[in-house]
Structure formats: C-alpha cells, structure tokens
Amino acid sequence: MMLHQRQIIHSLINTVTCRQCNPVLNSRHNLTSGPRLQSTALFPHKILDNGVGDESAVPLPKEAKVVVCGGGVMGAAVAYHLAELGWGPQTVLIDQGRCGGGTTWHLSGLVGVFKPSLPQVNLAKSSVQLYKDMDARGLKTGWKQCGSLCIARTRDRMTVFRRMKALAVSWNIDCDLVTPGEAQKLCPLIAIDDIQGGLWIPGDGVGDPYQICLSLIAAARKGGMQVIENCAVQQILNHNGKVVAVGTNRGTVECQYFVNCGGFWARKIGKMSEPYVKVPLHACEHYYLHTKPIPGLDPMTPVVRDLDGYIYFRENEGCLLAGGFEPVAKPAFEDGTIPESSAERILPEDWDHFHILLEQMLHRVPSLGDAVLERLCNGPEAFSPDCKWIVGEAPEIQNYYVAAGMKTIGISAAGGVGRATAELIVNGSSSYDMYELDISRFLGLHNNRKFLRDRVREVPGLHYAIIYPFHEFQTGRNLRMSPIYPKLREAGAVFGQVMGYERPTWFDPDYASGNDSDTKNGLHPYRIAYTNTYGKPPWFEFVRNEYSACREQVGLSDYSSFTKIDFWSKGTEVVDSLQYLCSNDVNIPVGGIIHTGMQNRNGGYENDCSLARIAENHYMMIAPTIQQTRCKAWIQRHLPTDGSVSLSDVTSMYTAICVMGPFSRVFLSELTDTDLSPKSFPFFTFKELDVGLANGIRAMNITHTGELGYVLYIPNEFALHVYTQLIEVGQKYGIQHAGYYAMRALRVERFFAFWGQDLDTTTTPLECGRSWRVKFDKNMDFIGRNALMKQRDEGVKRMYVQLILQDHDHEIDLWPWGGEPIYRNGKYVGATTTTGYGFTFKKQVCLGFVQNFDDKGTTQVVTPEFVTTGSYEVDVAGMRFPAKVNLHSPNLPTQYPDKERLAYRATRDIIDDIVGKRSILPSCPGSSDTQTRT
C-alpha cells in the first residue's frame, strides 16, 4: 500500500480514537477469557479440533486484501470460496472468540432447498452441492440426505403444497404430494388423524453446522487464508467512501474489502464505521428440545415439518431434536446489548413460552411423551425485518459486504451466499441474482432498534405461516405517510406498506367517514390490507369499480411512495453522466420525459425509471418505491468523483397524486390556467403548474398504467389544498379513489413490466420488448452496451409474453398469483412473473417469460415465430389452463377512445410497428415525436 494511503489510515484512526464520546471505541471487550464454545457442559458438541490451533498467539497481519469478520458458518463459507477463487493468501478471517462459537453450535442443521423464491432456491442448492462435494473429499460435514416431509392440516396448506409441486418444475426440485397414509409410511412416528396430506422432498437433508464450519475453515487455510481468533473488530475505516482498513483490539490491518458475517452482532458491527452501515437485525429466543437416545430410532428418519403446528423435528445421533417457530416470538437482548461471553449468551429456559410448541410436538409425535428429555436449549437467533437474508455491498461504503440474517438456517444459505459474496468481491458480479436479498432494500427506519424489537415478535412465525398473496406485516406501521393520508383514511382506504410507506391498496366505501360504527374519538379506523385466499379475493369488487373509474371516468391515486431523485450540474456534466448510466437517450428537449433502463455490464436492469428534463442541466427521476436506497447507491457509484454532478433524494419532499381517465384533461383544466391540450402539453412531457391556489407543482403527462392522465408532484405544504380541490371539482366527473391493486390490474392488462416484479438484474430490454428504448447509436458507450449489442446480434434466449387464460372461472377456480409454470405444446418453457384479473378482458392475465429448451435442456434462441406458433397452458396449483399469447401491448376497447392512449404500447419488439401512427401523435417542440423518445 502506498505511503500516503497509510498516512490517511493513521490519521483516520487517530481521529476516531480521540472522540471520547464514541462508546464503541471507549469500551474494551475482554474477549480472550471466555470459555471455548464446544465445552460439553453447555453445548451439544464434543470438543473438536478446529484445525487452526491456538490462533490467539498468531499476529495480526499488517495488510490483506479481504478481511472477513465472523468465524461462524457464514464467514467460513465466504473465506472458503475466496480461497477457491485464488484469494486465500490475501484473505484474513477474524473472530472475537473461537470459530464456530456464535450461533453455529446450536443451529438445527436442517438443509432444505424449497425457499420462497427462485434466487433463494438456487443459493440453497449451491449449499447442498457444496456439502456433497466436501463429503466426497473426506471433509466432515455431517451431511445426510434423509429427505424432508412437510405435512398439512388445512386445505389452504394443501393448496400451498400443490403450488409448490407446480413450481418444482420451474425450480428443478424433486418432490411429490403424498396422502396421510403415505406420509406415515415415510415417518411412522407421526400421528395422521388430523392431516390432509403432505409434500415429500427426497433431496433435503441435515448437516452438522459446527463440523461444516470447521471443515470450511480448514479447507480455506490450505488455500492460504489466515485465521485470527480472539480478535475483536472495533472500527472499519474508509476513505473517499471505500474501505481502507479494519481496526481491532490487536491492531489495524489495511485492506480493500471487508465482509460483515457477524451474525446477531452484524448490526453492532455496522455501527463501527462512519457513516454507519445499517444492518437491520434483531435477535429473538429460539428453542431446541433434545431428547436422550431413543431405542430403535431410524437414523434416516426424515426431517418432519408440521407447518400448521409451527414445529419441526429430526433424528440427531439416535436422539430427537425438535424446534419450531411460534406465532409470537420473544425478543432477546431488548436493550440492544449483546453479551460478549458465551455463557452469558445462553438464555434461560422459558417453559411457559415454549409450551405452545411442546404441546404441538406431543400432538404430532405421541411417543415423544415417553422419551427422556436431555435439555431445552434457548439460543438467540437474528432475523431481518422482512424475514429474508441480508447480503450484498453496503450502500453507505464501497467494498463493504454483508452476509447475515440467515434466520436459524445458516447452513442452508451459507454455501450459496458464501459463493455469491466471494464472486461479487473477486469478479464484481455474481452468477446468482440476489437483488431481493440485497441490503440496499432497506431504509434507515428499518434499522431503528424499537422498530426491530417489535417486528421480530412477528417475523419468526412467518417462517412456517401460510403467506397469502400480498402479505402485509402487522407491526411497524404508520411510519411514513403522505400529507393526504388522513383524507385517504377517511375515504375508506385499506393500506399496504412498502418501504415503510402507507399506500392505499383499495378503498371500501362502506368504511368511508360517517358510514361506519367503529369510529372512535372522531378518528377513522386504520385498516391493513389482506387477501387470505388463493382464490377470488375479498377486495375484487372494490378494485373492479376503481379500475372502471380509471378507464371510463376519473380515478385519483396516491403515488407518493415512488422514489424521486433530482440531478443537476453547472454545465453539461449531468447529461453526460445520465447518458452513461442510461440505455435510452436522455438528451431530450427541456420539458420532455423518457422512460429508460439503467443497465449493468451484463445488460440487466439495475433500475427502470422515468426521467423528466426540468431544465437544461436539471433532471427529475421517478423510480419504483423499492429502489429508493438501491438505485441511489448504484447511481452514486457511477457519477463523477469530482462532485460536478449533484444528486438529491426528494422522495419525502413531494406528495404525488395521479389523476387518470378519459376526463382527466378537462377536469384538471378547471384547476389550472395552463393549456393542457395535446398540442401544448403532449404525452410524455412535463410542465410546472399552478393548481388551485398552489404553485410549483411538477406535472407529468404519464400515468405508468397506459391510461390518460397526469401525475402531480406537489410540494408537501400544498398537498392537502390540492387534494381537496381535486376532490371537490372532480365530483361532477365522477372522480373515485383508486388503490394500488387497481393500478396493478391496469398495467398487467396493458402489458407493462415493472422492476422487481417482472424486471430484475438479469433481465435485458431486448428480452422484454423494449429494444426500441435502447439507443445504440447515441454518442456514449453506456453501461451494458456491449452486452446488449452481443445479445442483439446473437438473439435472445427468453421473451416476455402476456398470457390470457381461457376456460378459467374466476369465481371458483384458484387464481394464478405469480411463479406458475408455462407450457408450450405440453413442454415446460418458463414461468409467470406478475398476474392479475383483466377487467376488460374478463379473464385472468399472466405476464412472464418464455424460453426455448432443446432435448438436453439447453436454452436456444427464442424468436417471435417460436412464441406465436405454440399452444400454451399455465399450471395453477396442479391444474393447467389453456392460454392465448401476446407479444405486444394490446389496444383495449373503451367508451372514450383517444389517439394518444391507442398509440402508446410499452411492450413491443421494434419501433417500426408503430411508426405508421406517428401522424396522430403530438410533437414536443424541437424534438422528434413522442413515441420515438419514450
């Protein structure tokens, strides 16, 4: 490392150390005196040689490329894969105690491949393959492929299993539905008098987390990796936003990368940098019941998960190990202080709290009542606020990675997450798509300790709960609210939450102010959205009415949660930077709007957004709500380092109200002096308006649904006034509130793709009918251009389609909710992404991707001819429905046809199919026509 960088690091250390108010640095942890975690008095493992000797005496190196913090199974997996990629000699693994001494020693050892999403499934599969490979190499893992049996007590649970069986084709998981009798044959221990059936997954198994941890470390050490035990991290130093060193109680090691694998310490470790890295985790109590040896217990007894009873059990060296996820969990270390010594981290037994699980265990395994109890283990486990793993590069500091929050199933995740993290560090990208697990999905509010304490009571129970479509959390609500929230609540809004923001999902007129009997103290009842079925949802009729208003009258919807970011510069730097970031041409006239992707180097979508050119060197970006942290971090890392381009997150400065429908133009004209005619204010353009008595309102002629209308970005102080004016004037036009579910129905029927639902980091514009939004000929080598040009030349291997189900009765049949397998001529070709009922089609509509597999399962080029010549079916929970396929956004019939609405189709292969319609489109002064710009 260069001398001047070492001087910077030394200066940083001195600066932080002399801050007397810093509690992290002022407290000195006595971490060398704790007992070894594998002592038999407290822990289930015999003392094992961890293969590293006494690493307390090993000196801390002065320099390394990567420092991995945490010697549990996750940190061991990251270090192992770094060594496999050739970075072993440049990697240091440090732990404040002994390796394997955090939560690894008391994990249940369950390894299941069925997870809530395909990215998690692929990571779990990678873990299983790793342990099989290690076994074959003679490394101890305790791996045993005994299979797993999930049992159902209710019809809805069996519906879940049938959906899982259908998904198994897409996810390549071997599984079978079984009857109660077949379930008992697979596991004679269980009582079956109250079960409906089960799901048998023969490829699942169990492993020994402690042995796996030590074996991974031993293998990594052979690859040159160093292990430093009894070494506590105290600070992570960064310069110019990048990791440069890690300070410990044994000195400082200069490095380029830091990986936080701290388990339930990860949040605390996140606070050891400036700025803080937010790792939203909170520990809760988690119980494991261990019996004495049971005579005759089959060592290949499958793992049994009685999900409706919240419990699981497995065979463990002739004994039974049982645990569960109670509906209401008990937070651990509520004051935020986690004991450093292993003995203090052992939580006391709480038989009263455990009783609900014990009762279900005895019900499902009657013979357990005759077994001799060895111990009840109460160990803390960390959960994230959305019950997903936390991985990826921290948005606050470059080259700072996190792999934590594995929620009791660390060994299921470790192999895959470890590999993905190592690939990100070494290659800059991973073979796994992990956007849904990325740490940048959170905001600062998610790291609030009181928020986490409340949420962790709810989250563990979701592990085994039935997660109905559009699931909503009950805790941590009413955090982010637009200024018009009280009015929406009075109007009967039923709320969902996204990024902490309360967003109306639908409106119930019977709950409108004055129409209900539950109003208390003049406040309208607060209602959280629910579905609670896999069939026709309870909100169907409400959404139908809202949909109709948006298409045939005027609908008003709250878009305030959308991510809003302003960019500006003194010169043209902002234009050049956005040209580099975006695949579309952003150099449009002032007042214009374009829709564009921000691609990664493989051509996938890192962001999908709209850009309005406010002034010559000023743009406003509108992006999906869930992108608020993520896209901002991506953009900041690709802006000039000289500060010539400024960025400001203005999400919380504006209330966004969308008014849409055939009467929206004449309706809004009554409230503003601005000419809203198509000639003056055409589609995909921006103007600053006065509305009512308010000024400075950014109005965009775009609705993100394909319907006519405007989104008004209103300074918050004017929001209530503007809303009131809109409602009052809108009465004669039949204005009606519309929630998110109606917006979703509109865009699905219009064949609009949304990031995070249809588009992700592996999806390219050429695969989803957006090649016309990629400007290869613009004077900028934008990110991903080479990958997209290669794909353009070679052809795409999947194609975005719209499928309209036939012979499906929405009243009685189960609905598609996303992830359903798609069949072409009887052969599996892909899966759905977003689904919804088409109120104009009067049929179920599914969006998804179609692939072309050869006889060996290898993907081939997909052409429009391939797509349109097939006969399609969609598998909904085991029942296949025929479907009609579309490649282009359809023109939907309406009572009030409009040239702009009819002309615009968001999803299409090439622009030529619409060029002939240019004459009917208005033009923006000084620009080419609207269609060629969007």
How far is C-alpha 681 from the geometric centre of its chain's CA atoms? Answer: 37
Q: Is residue 163 a part of any domain in this protein?
A: yes
Say whether both 164 and 296 belong to one domain: yes
Three-state SS string across 32-66, please? Answer: CCCCCCCCCCCCCCCCCCCCCCCHHHCCCCCECCE
Say whether both 273 and 416 belong to one domain: yes
More confident residue, 264 or 831: 831
374, 400, 429: which is the final residue of a domain? 374
Question: Do the Cβ atoms of 474 and 458 come closer than 8 Å?
Answer: yes
Say whether both 327 and 381 belong to one domain: no
Q: Is residue 102 a part of any domain in this protein?
A: yes
pLDDT at 264: 85
**What does the pLDDT look like over 84-107, one tens digit per residue?**
999 999 999 999 988 876 544 556
Say whether both 236 and 107 belong to one domain: yes
Q: Is residue 64 a part of any domain in this protein?
A: yes
pLDDT at 92: 97
pLDDT at 514: 54
416 contact partners, CB below 8 Å, separation of at least 6: 122, 123, 124, 125, 126, 127, 130, 432
Residue closest to 280 by CA, chosen among 418, 448, 129, 414: 448
The Cα 77–Cα 166 span in angstroms is 32
**Which amino acid type is present at position 25?**
L
Buried b (16+ CB within 10 A) or exposed e, 775-793: beebebebbbbebbeebbe
The Cα 824–Cα 840 span in angstroms is 25
Strands (E), 346-500: 373-383, 390-393, 400-404, 493-498
Confidence of residue 890 (pLDDT cuts 50, 70, 90): confident
Tokens linked to 628: 């608020």
Ranking 16-20, 642-646, 829-833 by mean pLDDT, the lowest is 16-20
Question: Do the Cβ atoms of 303 and 198 come closer than 8 Å?
Answer: no
Q: Is residue 132 a part of any domain in this protein?
A: yes
How far is C-alpha 764 from the geometric centre of its chain's CA atoms? Answer: 19
Residue closest to 147 by CA, chosen among 206, 211, 189: 206
CA–CA distance from 828 to each of 115, 119, 873 (Å)? 21, 19, 9
Here the CATH number for the domain that contains residue 812 is 2.40.30.110
**What does the pLDDT look like over 373-401, one tens digit per residue?**
999 999 889 999 999 999 999 999 999 99
Say whether both 241 and 384 belong to one domain: yes
Say whether both 357 and 316 belong to one domain: yes
pLDDT at 9: 61
The residue-averaged pLDDT of 861-867 equals: 95
Residues shown for the chain: 934
Here the CATH number for the domain that contains residue 323 is 3.30.9.10
Question: Do the Cβ atoms of 152 and 198 come closer than 8 Å?
Answer: yes
Q: In degrees, to the nearest 5, what angle opens at C-alpha 115 toward C-alphas 112 and 120?
A: 105
In the chain, % of residues over pLDDT 70: 88
Say whether both 225 and 128 belong to one domain: yes
Say whether both 275 and 315 belong to one domain: no
332, 347, 374: which is the final residue of a domain? 374
The residue-averaged pLDDT of 20-39 equals: 32
Mean pLDDT of all residues belonging to the chain: 89
Tokens linked to 686: 């921006």
The 8-class DSSP code of residue 229 comes to -
pLDDT at 11: 60
Residue closest to 105 by CA, chosen among 207, 33, 37: 37
Say whether both 164 and 135 belong to one domain: no
CA–CA distance from 573 to each of 13, 633, 641, 784, 904 (Å)? 35, 19, 12, 20, 31
Say whether both 246 and 190 belong to one domain: no
Ranking 50-59, 214-223, 229-238, 719-728 by mean pLDDT, the lowest is 50-59
The 8-class DSSP code of residue 422 comes to H
Instruction: Tell me which long-range contacts 31-35 makes (C-beta under 8 A, separation of at least 24).
Output: 31/96, 31/97, 31/230, 31/231, 31/232, 31/249, 31/340, 32/56, 32/230, 33/341, 34/97, 34/340, 34/341, 34/342, 34/343, 35/341, 35/342, 35/343
Confidence of residue 929 (pLDDT cuts 50, 70, 90): very low
Say whether both 314 and 198 belong to one domain: yes
Confidence of residue 57 (pLDDT cuts 50, 70, 90): low
424, 445, 467: which is the final residue of a domain? 467
CA diameter of the chain:
87
The residue-averaged pLDDT of 446-460 equals: 96
The residue-averaged pLDDT of 879-902 equals: 84
Ranking 30-34, 737-741, 827-831 by mean pLDDT, the lowest is 30-34
Q: Is residue 745 a part of any domain in this protein?
A: no
Residue closest to 66 by CA, chosen among 266, 229, 244, 268: 244
Q: Is residue 370 a part of any domain in this protein?
A: yes
Q: Is residue 342 a part of any domain in this protein?
A: yes
Question: Do the Cβ atoms of 216 and 76 come closer than 8 Å?
Answer: yes
Q: Which domain holds residue 239?
A: 59-142+205-282+375-467
**What does the pLDDT look like over 348-363, one tens digit per residue?**
899 999 999 999 999 9
Say whether both 404 and 422 belong to one domain: yes
Split into its structural domains, the chain has a count of: 3
pLDDT of residue 13 exceeding 90, the answer is no
Here the CATH number for the domain that contains residue 137 is 3.50.50.60
pLDDT of residue 934 exceeding 80, the answer is no
Q: Is residue 450 a part of any domain in this protein?
A: yes
